[in-house]
Amino acid sequence: MLNLAKIPLFRALPASERKQLGQACELRRFQKGQTIFDEGQPADSVWLIERGWVYLVKRAPQGTPVTIFTVTPEDVICGFSAAVGQSRYYASAIAATDTAAIRVPHTHFARLLRDQPGFAEKVLALYHTRMRHMADAISLAQAPVERRLAYVLLRLRATFGKTVPVTHQELSHMAGTRWETSIRTISSFKRKRWVATSRGKMTILNPQQLRALLRSVSGGYGIAGRNETASDH
C-alpha cells in the first residue's frame, strides 16, 4: 500500500480515504524517453508525478510531435482526461528524466473529485496554474530566444528554488529552441552574471534581470510579474 500523505494534494483527505486510495494505486518507474501513456490511448488512469519531469506531447496535423507542457512534481497531475470522463488521452506523456509516477485508477480519482470538495478545489487550482503557464508560453512563442529562456528559467525557479536541475538540452526543449542556440544564450546570461551553470544544473543569480527582460516587451507575463521570491533549495 502506498503512503500518499507525502503528496500535498492528498494531505487534506481523511486518513481513511488516503488508505483506501493507497491500496488501489501503483508506483511505477520510467527511464528517460519512455512513454507513460500515448495520445489516443484509453484514459483509464490519472498519473501523479512523484519524481522527475514529464513532457506532454501532441501530434500536429502534419504528424510532427509538439511538446505542449512540461509536468513537474509541483504540477503533479498527468493524464487528467481520465478523471473527467474523457475516453482517451488528448496527448502523450513521455518521461523527460528518470521518473517515478503513481497510477491512480480513474474511478477512484473521479470519486474524490465528486465527494471531497476540498480535494476538488486543490485540483482546480493546479489546473488554473497550468493553464496560465500554457497561455504564457503561447504568448511567448514568437518572442526572441532569450525571453523564452528567461521565462522557462523563472518557471523552474518557482518550482525548484535558486538552483534548478536542468541541462541545456532539456532547457532548449522546454523553450522550443535549438540546443546550440540555448547554449549561446545561456553563455550570454553567464557573462552578465544572471546565471551560473554546473553539470546538470543551473543557478539563477539575478532573477530580477530575467523578469525585467520579460517585462521590457510583455508588460508582465504571468511569472515575470510576480513579486514573491522562491525559496532557495
pLDDT value, residue 138: 81
Judge residue 143's burial from the number of C-beta atoms within 10 Å of its C-beta, 0-12 exposed, 13-18 middle, 19 or more buried. Answer: middle
Amino acid 233: pLDDT:
37
Walk me through the domains of the chain, giving residue ranges and CATH numbers. 4-137 (2.60.120.10), 143-218 (1.10.10.10)
pTM value is 0.75
| Grid coordinates of 136 | 504564457
CA 128 to mean position of chain CA atoms: 13
pLDDT tier at 176, thresholds 50, 70, 90: confident
**Residue 69 belongs to what H/E stretch?**
strand 65-71
Residues 16-44 pLDDT 10s: 999 999 999 999 999 999 999 999 999 99
pLDDT at 217: 55
φ and ψ of 107, to 5 deg: -65, -35
In this structure, the dihedral spanned by the alpha carbons of residues 130, 158, 22 and 131, taken in order and rounded to 10 degrees, is 0
**50: exposed, middle or buried (C-beta count within 10 Å: 0-12, 13-18, 19+)?**
middle
At 219, list the grid cell.
508588460
Q: Is it the case that residue 127 has pLDDT exceeding 80?
A: yes
Q: Which residues pair with 35 in a beta bridge?
A: 94
Average pLDDT rounded to a whole number, residues 205-231: 65
Percent of the chain with pLDDT over 90: 48
Residue 230 pLDDT: 39
pLDDT value at residue 95 = 94
Residue 164 clears pLDDT 50, i.e. is over it? yes
Half-sphere exposure in the Cβ direction for 224 (13 Å, CA): 23
pLDDT exceeds cutoff 80 at 222: no
How does pLDDT run across 62-107, given as a tens digit for each residue? Answer: 777 888 888 888 888 998 887 776 789 999 999 988 999 999 999 9
DSSP E strand stretches across 16-53: 26-30, 35-37, 45-51
Burial status of residue 41 (CB atoms within 10 A of its CB: 0-12, 13-18, 19 or more):
middle
Answer yes or no: are the C-beta atoms of 89 and 50 closer than 8 Å.
Answer: no
Order of strands across the sheet that contains 201-204: 163-164, 201-204, 195-198
**In the prediction, which pLDDT does 17 show?**
92
Distance CA 131, CA 112 (A): 22
